[in-house]
Chain A
Amino acid sequence: MSVLLSRADPPRLVSGSRRRSRLPQAFLVPAIAVLVLALGYPLGRQVVMSLQEYGLAQQFGRPAPWVGLANYQALVTDSYLWAVVLRSVMFCLVNAAVTMMLGVAVAVLLTKVSRWVRILTQSGLLLAWAMPVLAALTIWQWIFDSQYGIVNWLLTRLGFESYAGHAWLIDPLSFYLVATVVVVWMSVPFVVFTVYAALTQVPTSTVEAAEIDGAGAWQRFRFVVVPSIRPVLLVVGLLQVIWDLRVFTQIYVLQEAGGISTETNLIGTYVYRLGIAEGQFGVASAVAIFMLALTVVLTFGYVRRMLRTEDA
């Protein structure tokens, strides 16, 4: 992640030939073309669609009438959307917080254990990190399977007889528990690796100086280590928030497996059900725009900070 934070040195190599060369701009053309074509254009089109009545009839060729902000109005007054938004934000914050806390704790732990234990733990985390999301989902579905899942077996063994044959995905709360386990399991390794790398960069002399000055273990961590890895923590935390807010795959797949979707929809799956499944592209676009706006709000501060780093 240090990559993301690297300051923009004023590049000086070719300052002499600045005037005549169009080369750098030419280098950007392919990237810009793809970004405009596959992100910029759909984004514009999405804004347009969100202002139109675009349903199944339009899907079959009828022209789409402009309806102004009617789609948004319908949404803002729809209590279901607010339930979905609230759920998404809660899910995002809980998952990001749990992931960050566990990740930082494990990273600190790794600096304090024997070498072989560290390498072993790192390889385990690497394995979890490397799992494709769909593979991870099927694994956890199997682990939480009602009949032959190992979780129910374990709980029954521990004396919770009622968990024999317990279906985890039918109740919204335990549905989110399973989803959180999958999301956290998959995201913690990334946090551990980046934070651990940052921790090894903290100069030992500073920490030792604080120790000589009488700072306890917690104080050393809080006032010496945390400030020096702060940039990394910020970036990693921001990424967690973004990733967990847009979570789609985990929820969608678990919904398909468990059979409940209305009670468990988050923004991503709601957009999918509205648009792809029901063909209400106008309303779905409005929700998607709403989701983008929410992302901007949640990440605005972080992005501005990063841009400032860029300016420096």
Chain B
Amino acid sequence: MTAVLDAPSEAVATRPAAPNRRKPQRFRRAMLNLLALLVFGCSAFPVYWMVNSSLLPANRIRSVEPTWFPAPATLDHYRRVFTEGSFTSSLRISLLVTAATLVFALVFAFLAALAVSRFRFTGRRQFVIAVLVIQMIPAEGLFISQYKMLEGWNLLNSVTGLTLVYVAGVLPFTIWTLRGFVDGIPVELEEAAMVDGCSRTRAFFSITFPLLAPGLVATGVFAFIQAWNEFTLALVVMTRPDGHTLPIWLRTFTDVNRAADWGGIMAGSTLIAVPVVIFFLVVQGRMAAGLVSGAVKG
């Protein structure tokens, strides 16, 4: 790919300095732009296709010739998703599990990140290494025994059980990320406040904590997305239909309607994707702002 990419530019660059050097460069830039637009097409088209299909009337979807724009748009599929079947109850379960995971993971990770980043104590190094190693453990290598464990505790098909394994699943990463954010806020800021007479707690909460807010948001969004999208454990733990989370609901919905109701399936996919996309867009700017490396200069 890089070779393909570089080939034209190389050819242009090695051309002996033509009287008008800007023209080939502009041509090169145009080609690269075109290539980037192709990348845009490849990444965005499937999403567009989902939304498009969810708005088309059934007879347009079930036609060999594709319809590129939802010109006669209909909301029938969305109406059906909401009124028929178990979308709303799955939505409730998903919201519950996601919210609980988000809160617990954030609080626990925040405390741990604080300890690791701002204190030196016995066992600190071991903890950091353990978190790093645990982060490498694939969840897919553990679901068998997690299933047995929850079964033994009568926590199968319960929001509590699923939340427990979700929190454990996202904790290592959230600790790592938050710790990076806390590290990124210079201790000097707190120290300066303490020199000016602040208590350590006050210095932390009035100086560091506000600077940490973007980090908390970014980390929280990560936990949210993980829990909202998670499939494997939800499939294993929530076996009863009334306990299905949205991803499981979408899969069973696809199964039941195989090849018959692509409009409904695409409407369901769109509904699941919308909150994630919104969250992603919201934190885009803040992620960058979270890196406050420039707070202390020289």
Instruction: Give residues in A with beta carbon < 8 Å to B.
Output: 2-4, 6, 8-15, 18, 21, 23-25, 27-28, 30-32, 34-35, 37-39, 41-43, 45-46, 49, 101-102, 104-106, 108-110, 112-114, 117-118, 120-121, 123-136, 138-143, 145, 147-148, 150, 153, 185, 188-189, 216-218, 221, 242, 245-249, 252-253, 256-257, 267-268, 271-272, 275-276, 281, 284-285, 288-289, 291-292, 295-296, 299, 303, 306-307, 310
Contact = CB atoms under 8 A, between A and B. Distances in A.
B118 A142 contact: no
Contacts of B147: 275-276
Most buried by B among A37, A109, A245, A292: A109
A310 B137 contact: no
A275 B148 CA distance: 10
A133 B247 contact: yes
Contact of A303 (B133, B250, B291): B133
Nearest to B288: A197
23 contacts: A8-B128, A11-B118, A14-B200, A21-B119, A24-B124, A25-B122, A31-B111, A31-B171, A34-B167, A121-B40, A127-B277, A131-B46, A138-B269, A139-B50, A142-B49, A142-B53, A147-B259, A218-B10, A249-B231, A249-B232, A256-B255, A295-B136, A303-B136
B95 to A, nearest CB: 14
B115 interface: yes
A11 B145 contact: no
Contact of A128 (B43, B132, B232): B43
Given A134-B269, A247-B140, 16 more contacts: A25-B123, A28-B115, A101-B2, A105-B5, A109-B35, A113-B29, A117-B37, A125-B43, A135-B270, A138-B265, A148-B66, A148-B262, A249-B232, A276-B144, A292-B141, A295-B141
A217 B13 contact: yes
Given A49-B148, A129-B280, A148 B46 contact: no
B128 A310 contact: yes
Contacts of A139: 46-47, 49-50, 266, 269
Given A112-B32, A135-B273, A310-B128, A10 B120 contact: yes
Looking at B119, B127, B228, which has the most chain A CB atoms within 10 Å of its CB? Answer: B119
A109 B138 contact: no
A125 B43 CA distance: 6
B238 to A, nearest CB: 12
B71 interface: no
B146 A133 contact: no
Interface of B: 1-2, 5-6, 9-10, 13, 29, 32-33, 35-37, 39-44, 46-47, 49-50, 53, 61-66, 104, 107-109, 111-112, 114-125, 127-130, 132-134, 136-149, 164-165, 167-169, 171-172, 175-177, 179-181, 183-184, 187, 190-191, 200, 225, 228-229, 231-232, 235-236, 246-247, 250-251, 254-255, 258-259, 262, 265-266, 268-270, 272-273, 276-277, 279-281, 284, 291
Contacts of B6: 217-218, 221
Contact of B228 (A6, A18, A132): A132
B284 A126 contact: yes
A37 B2 contact: no
Given A135-B273, A139-B50, A139-B266, A130 B280 contact: yes
Contacts of A38: 146, 149, 164-165, 167-169
B61 A148 contact: yes
The main secondary structure of chain B at its interface with chain A is helix
A271 B64 contact: no
Contacts of A288: 141-145
Contact of A3 (B42, B181, B247, B266): B181
B32 A46 contact: no
Nearest to B265: A138
A246 B138 contact: yes
A299 B272 CA distance: 33
Nearest to B110: A27
B39 A276 contact: no
Contacts of A188: 43
A82 B169 CA distance: 29
A150 B262 CA distance: 13
Contact of B276 (A101, A131, A292, A296): A131
Contacts of A268: 140, 232
Contacts of B140: 246-248, 267-268, 271, 291
B127 A28 contact: yes
Contacts of B122: 25
